Amino acid sequence: MSRPKAVSQPRTVPRHQTTERVSLVAEDVLAALREYVLRHVLKDDHVEIDGRTPLLEWGVLNSLTTAELVAHIRTRFDVLVPPEKVHGAHFRNLDAVTALVVDLHGERAVHN
């Protein structure tokens, strides 16, 4: 009687180690942030903004709306943005905010 062959299980790669998975997460984060800015900051779903729209330069974000966005990031993505990360370089546009959220989420995953 022959022994059954071992069936290999597909190897799962942690999310933070796959470039494709991270870019998909970044796209989802960007879409969610864009929707938040349109609905809660600009209060207009018909405005055209993308990842490169200069949020600070155009006055879309100010100190109050940035604080509200940071609170939204905490609630929506379970990511705490530390005070030292709340500066113009990270909030100049949605691409920068997205990168910050993805990086902070990845750091948290590595430390947990």
The average pLDDT across 10-32 equals 62
pLDDT in tens, 39-95: 999 999 899 999 999 999 999 999 999 999 999 999 999 999 999 999 999 999 999
Q: Which alpha helices (DSSP H) does the chain contain, by range?
A: 19-36, 63-77, 88-91, 94-111
Homologous superfamily in CATH for domain 20-111: ACP-like (1.10.1200.10)
Both tokens assigned to 95 = 């691409």
What is the pLDDT, as a whole number, of residue 12? 45
What is the pLDDT, as a whole number, of residue 106? 86
DSSP state letters, 49-74: --TTS-TTTTTS--HHHHHHHHHHHH
What is the pLDDT, as a whole number, of residue 107? 81
What is the pLDDT, as a whole number, of residue 3? 54
Domains in the chain: boundaries: 20-111
Residue 17 clears pLDDT 90, i.e. is over it: no
What is the pLDDT, as a whole number, of residue 18? 47
The average pLDDT across 33-42 equals 98
SS3 2: coil
Residue 37 clears pLDDT 50, i.e. is over it: yes
Residue 22 clears pLDDT 60, i.e. is over it: no
